[in-house]
Structure 1
Amino acid sequence: MSTPGELVRLEVEGGIGTIRLNRPPMNALSVQVQEEIRAAAVEASERRDVAAVIVYGGEKVFAAGADIKEMETMSYTDMVDRSAALQSSLTAVARIPKPTVAAITGYALGGGCELALACDFRVAAEGAKLGQPEILLGIIPGAGGTQRLARLVGSARAKEIIFSGRFVAAEEALSIGLVDKVVPAAEVHRAATAWMATFVSGPAYALRAAKEAIDRGLETDLDTGLEIERMLFAGLFATRDREIGMTSFVESGPGKATFEGR
Structure 2
Amino acid sequence: MAVADAELLVEVAGPVATVVIHNPARRNAMTPAMWRRLPGVLDQLEADPAVRALVLTGADGTFCAGADLGDLDELLDAGDASIAVTAEERLAAFAKPTIAAIRGACVGGGCQLAVACDLRLAADDARFGVPPARLGLVYPAPTTRRLARLVGPSTAKALLFTAELIDSGRALRVGLVDEVLPATALSARVGEVTAAVTVRSRLSVMAAKEIVDERADDDRIAWWHGQVRTSGEAREGVAAANERRPARFPWSPPEARPGEAVGAG
Question: In structure 1, what is the Cα distance between the partners aligned to 2:40 and 2:144?
Answer: 24
Q: 1:204 to 1:237 in 2, by over 3 A?
A: same
- Residue 252 of structure 1: aligned partner: 243
TM-score (norm 1): 0.85
Q: Does 1:23 align with 2:23?
A: yes
Question: In structure 2, what is the Cα distance between the partners aligned to 1:257 and 1:158?
Answer: 41
Alignment partner of 1:243 out of 229, 235, 243:
235
Instruction: Tell me by how many angstroms 1:175 deviates.
Output: 0.8
Question: In structure 2, what is the Cα distance between the partners aligned to 1:212 and 1:236?
Answer: 15
Q: 1:59 to 1:125 in 2, by over 3 A?
A: farther
2:57·2:102 contact (CA, 8 Å) conserved in 1?
A: yes
1:19·1:37 contact (CA, 8 Å) conserved in 2?
A: no
The one-character-per-residue Cα deviations of 1:178-228 (angstroms, maximum 9, x if unpaired) are 0011111232233212211111222112211111111126xxxxxx86775
Equivalence map 1:139-218=2 (5 Å): 139-142=137-140, 144-216=142-214
Structure 1: stretches of 5+ with no match in the other structure: 218-223
Alignment partner of 2:118 out of 117, 120, 128:
120
- Residue 8 of structure 1: aligned partner: 8
Q: 1:75 to 1:10 in 2, by over 3 A?
A: closer
Question: In structure 2, what is the Cα distance between the partners aligned to 1:61 and 1:16?
Answer: 21
- Residue 136 of structure 1: aligned partner: 134
Question: In structure 1, what is the Cα distance between the partners aligned to 2:112 and 2:68?
Answer: 14
Instruction: Tell me by how many angstroms 1:166 deviates.
Output: 0.7
- Residue 220 of structure 1: aligned partner: none
Question: In structure 1, what is the Cα distance between the partners aligned to 2:123 and 2:153?
Answer: 25
Secondary structure, aligned partner of 2:213:
helix
**Cα RMSD (Å):** 2.4
Instruction: Tell me by how many angstroms 1:229 deviates.
Output: 4.0
1:65·1:110 contact (CA, 8 Å) conserved in 2?
A: yes
Q: Identity rate of aligned residues, in percent?
A: 28
Secondary structure, aligned partner of 2:74:
coil
Instruction: Tell me by how many angstroms 1:142 deviates.
Output: 2.6
Question: In structure 1, what is the Cα distance between the partners aligned to 2:163 and 2:24?
Answer: 24
Q: 1:10 to 1:156 in 2, by over 3 A?
A: same
Instruction: Tell me by how many angstroms 1:87 deviates.
Output: 1.1
1:213·1:232 contact (CA, 8 Å) conserved in 2?
A: no
Secondary structure, aligned partner of 1:216:
coil
The one-character-per-residue Cα deviations of 1:135-184 (angstroms, maximum 9, x if unpaired) are 10001323843111100011111011111101111000001110011111
Q: 1:183 to 1:102 in 2, by over 3 A?
A: same
Question: In structure 1, what is the Cα distance between the partners aligned to 2:204 and 2:191?
Answer: 21
The one-character-per-residue Cα deviations of 1:76-128 (angstroms, maximum 9, x if unpaired) are 43x25x83432121111111111111000111111100100010000111011
Q: Give the paired residue count.
A: 248
TM-score (norm 2): 0.84
Question: In structure 1, what is the Cα distance between the partners aligned to 2:29 and 2:171?
Answer: 22
Partner AA of 1:15 in structure 2:
P
Question: In structure 2, what is the Cα distance between the partners aligned to 1:46 and 1:228?
Answer: 20
Question: In structure 2, what is the Cα distance between the partners aligned to 1:118 and 1:174?
Answer: 16
Q: 1:19 to 1:235 in 2, by over 3 A?
A: same
